[in-house]
């Protein structure tokens, strides 16, 4: 087994680096920069049962530590992904992807997840109950532990592949929610999605985003995301994928030390398209310099 390999619920990855949903498209967008087969895996753009045009413009704003986005789950719908995008992706990508699933009702979540579960290229279903940029869906399930558990159990009955639940940091009791989705059948967790925030135009005083609020991402949220992983790790028995503000190899090391088994990189992919190869080099250098035999030895060491 290689130094950087990790295993997520039976899915073996060549390294712990995963590109977060919404920041990597369908992988093919990065082919002009490097061979995407170098990445451990990536989560496809958030997918719903039916096509969505997303929120009104403007829906992206900047701050010193990263970005705010209110894209609103713009996507072509699950059938287009399955019939048009996956066949093209399989010609260039040899690995398995995480299929990020969202919806506006339990029935929509289940139908979309079941369709993606049937695809050979999908290795993990990533249940998104944490999107802060749509009304009446996504985070509405993730704010209530009972609702999250009910949805997890329903989707669990519909899919055969590992089911990871992507949680919102806005949840009032994240530890309780994570325990309950584990009890409901989740095979893993993704901690965390973006934080809710806003920016105002300094000239008009009006919100910069048409949606008023958006998801805050980028290096500025890393300490808070890291804490959520550290906080939840002792209370669950399933793998955690750490996510939020990761931008370099050192951040990956910190996430693993806090309890993550793998790490998702989001906004940094948009700021620096060569981010993934750089992070992988940094991880290899770290393991060599620190005489780390296997990177999984780092998981949870902050708690020891």
Active site residues: 131
Give the span between the Cα atoms of 49 and 115, in whole angstroms.
9
Nearest to 253 by CA among 229, 221, 220, 217: 229
The angle subtended at Cα 5 by Cα 282 and Cα 113, nearest 5°, is 110
Q: Which two tokens stand for residue 281?
A: 């080099």
- DSSP characters over 204-248: T-SBSSTTS-EEEESGGGHHHHHHHHHHHGGG-SS-EEEESS--S
95: region left, alpha or beta (phi > 0 left; psi from -120 to 50 alpha): beta
User: Residue written as tokens 């619920």?
Assistant: 9
The Cα 155–Cα 107 span in angstroms is 9
């Amino acid at each position: 087994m290689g130094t950087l390999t990790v295993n997520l619920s039976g899915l073996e990855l060549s390294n712990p680096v995963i590109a977060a949903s919404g920041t990597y498209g369908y992988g093919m967008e990065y082919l002009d920069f490097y061979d995407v087969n170098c990445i451990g895996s990536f989560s496809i753009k958030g997918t719903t049962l039916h096509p969505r045009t997303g929120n009104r413009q403007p829906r992206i704003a900047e701050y010193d530590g990263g970005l705010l986005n209110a894209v609103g789950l713009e996507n072509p719908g699950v059938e287009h992904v399955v019939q048009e995008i996956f066949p093209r992706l399989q010609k260039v990508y040899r690995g398995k992807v995480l299929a990020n699933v969202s919806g506006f009702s339990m029935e929509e979540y289940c139908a979309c997840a079941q369709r993606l579960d049937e695809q050979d290229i999908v290795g993990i279903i990533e249940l998104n109950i944490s999107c802060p940029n749509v009304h009446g869906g996504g985070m509405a399930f993730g704010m209530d532990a009972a609702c999250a558990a009910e949805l997890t159990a329903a989707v669990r009955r519909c899919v055969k592949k590992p089911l990871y639940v992507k949680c919102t940091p806005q949840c009032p009791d994240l530890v309780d929610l994570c325990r309950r989705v584990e009890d409901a059948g989740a095979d893993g967790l993704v901690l965390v999605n973006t934080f809710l925030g806003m920016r105002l135009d300094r000239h008009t005083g009006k919100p910069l985003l048409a949606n008023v609020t958006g998801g805050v991402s980028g290096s500025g949220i890393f300490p808070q995301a890291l804490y959520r992983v550290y906080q939840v790790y002792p209370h669950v028995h399933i793998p955690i994928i750490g996510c939020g503000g990761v931008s370099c190899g050192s951040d990956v090391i910190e996430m693993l030390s806090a309890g993550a088994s793998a790490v998702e990189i989001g906004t940094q992919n948009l700021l620096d398209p060569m981010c993934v190869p750089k992070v992988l080099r940094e991880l290899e250098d770290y393991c060599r310099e620190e005489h780390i035999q296997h990177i999984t030895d780092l998981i949870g060491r902050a708690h020891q």
